[in-house]
Amino acid sequence: MTNRPPAAVFPEEDHIRGALTRSSPGSRVRSSRLFGRPRNASPGRRTRPRPPSRRGPIFIKPWVPFEVGVLHKQNIVARDWEGYEGFNHLVVRIRHPGRYDANRPEVILIPGILCNGNLFRLSWGGKSFKDLNHPLSFANALAFAGYSVVLVHPRDSRWIYSRYVNDVLGVPNTFSDDFSIADAVDDICFHIDTVTKIREQEHAPPRVVVLGFSLGGIKLLDMLGSRPLHPAIAGLAFLSTPVEFDTNGERLIPLVRIYSQAARLMPVEHYGALNLIDRNVIVAKRVARRLLGDTSPRVAGRLLRRVPLISDVFHVSDPSFDLSILLPLVSYVLEPVSATIMKELLYAVRKGRLVKRDAEDDCLDLLPETVPPWVVIRGSEDRIVTPRSHDMLDGALTCRQKSGYTATIAGLGHDDLVVSRAVLREVLYFLEGLPVS
């Protein structure tokens, strides 16, 4: 079928009347009170409850660059609510115009903690993560295989939303530390609704496969247990997704082990004081930006591999590990995490399993009676997802859907899964095995 031009995904009517004042392409977009916060509203807090149902994606039309290489990268700004409580999401779609098959499902990629959606664009072989001319990254390889790929940038990705959406596109947002996993699930549902609407306008079947990495997989499990199953979801993929912490013992990375011990001793209301990672992310990004201008990625990788957190989540001792990915990781992917999400994770660590703090229910027990086809993948050297955690997730999903399987990839650590050809082959095998629409 013939693809519509990029502008066709936007409705003709601008749903936000008077909210944006545009002059020439590339100009800054002024914001009205609709995008701001009322004077009597406290920072980061909702002053009134949201309406019971969202209106749906409201497409914003500032000057948005359409990046073209062998692959096409479409940057869409979509607002989830009309009022001042709304947030302007950056929805990124990558596809190969010559190989794209509209009958294949859209693949939505959800990153893990401390990461934005650029995690899936990290390239191996020394290639730039911004390069759209090679298949040497997770997102690019899926696009070269004929799939349309959507990157989810969580709303606490302040580097993306301040440095790009606000400073470059001129579309402001209001950030809040009161951003929870439940709010993140709302955002995932919003991305699914947005992609479904776009595909309907392109006359493509409204089918999506949602892939969650680490915390992204936890959000996906929360969505399955707390929301009605979206009819467009054709498959689920869980990469490096932990569901228990009690038996990790010495396998836990040192930083999480320290957090685990402190979480068992401190009152829950004081967990915010443990969020040391968030305070050091910005410093690490500034150092990496300095290295980016003066040092080659491979030399900088030799320095960054000694950072405890990086050496714990990547299997950097493997001689075949590509050090060139570490500098782009810190420079363009690393993000702070909201204080609320950190508290929720620490509470789960304290309980030893993936539990919802407000209801004391295990997330695996809240899964619906049936789920779509699924795949669960972990690395054999993962120091966060233990074999027991892997088996627990496998058992919980198998009793609800027989059409699924697990895979353990030898020699890979926690974050290695997003830069591994072996994992990519497993994901493609899973996608090719899904029923045709």
Residue spans of the domains in the chain: they are 52-245+368-432
* Cα distance between residue 387 and residue 393, in whole Å: 10
Q: What is the per-residue pLDDT for 141? A: 95
- The torsion angle over the Cα atoms of residues 182, 222, 220 and 365, rounded to 10 degrees, is 180
Confidence of residue 48 (pLDDT cuts 50, 70, 90): very low
Range with the poorest average pLDDT among 158-172, 179-193, 330-344: 330-344
pLDDT digits (tens, 9 = 90+) for 61-93: 776 778 889 999 999 999 988 777 789 999 999
Q: What is the per-residue pLDDT for 130? A: 86
- Which has more confidence, 54 or 216? 216
52-245+368-432 maps to CATH 3.40.50.1820: yes
Q: What is the per-residue pLDDT for 307? A: 59
Q: What is the DSSP letter of 13?
A: S
Residue 427 buriedness (CB in 10 A; 0-12 / 13-18 / 19+): buried
Q: Please, what sign has the CA dihedral across residues 265, 268, 274, 277?
A: positive
* Cα distance between residue 426 and residue 377, in whole Å: 8
Is the pTM above the cut of 0.75?
yes
- Judge whether 177 and 44 are in contact, CB under 8 Å: yes
Averaged pLDDT score across all residues of the chain: 76
* Cα distance between residue 29 and residue 13, in whole Å: 18
DSSP string for residues in 222-260:
HHHHHSPPPTTEEEEEEES---B-SS-GGGS-HHHHHHH
pLDDT at 134 over 80: yes
pLDDT above 70: percentage of residues in the chain: 68
Range among 156-170, 313-327, 378-392, 418-432 rated most confident:
418-432
Mean per-residue pLDDT for 123-148? 90
pLDDT at 268 over 50: no
Closest to 234 in 3D by CA, of 321, 107, 333, 326: 107
Question: What's the Cα-to-Cα distance from 32 to each of 51, 170, 295, rounded to whole Å?
Answer: 21, 12, 43
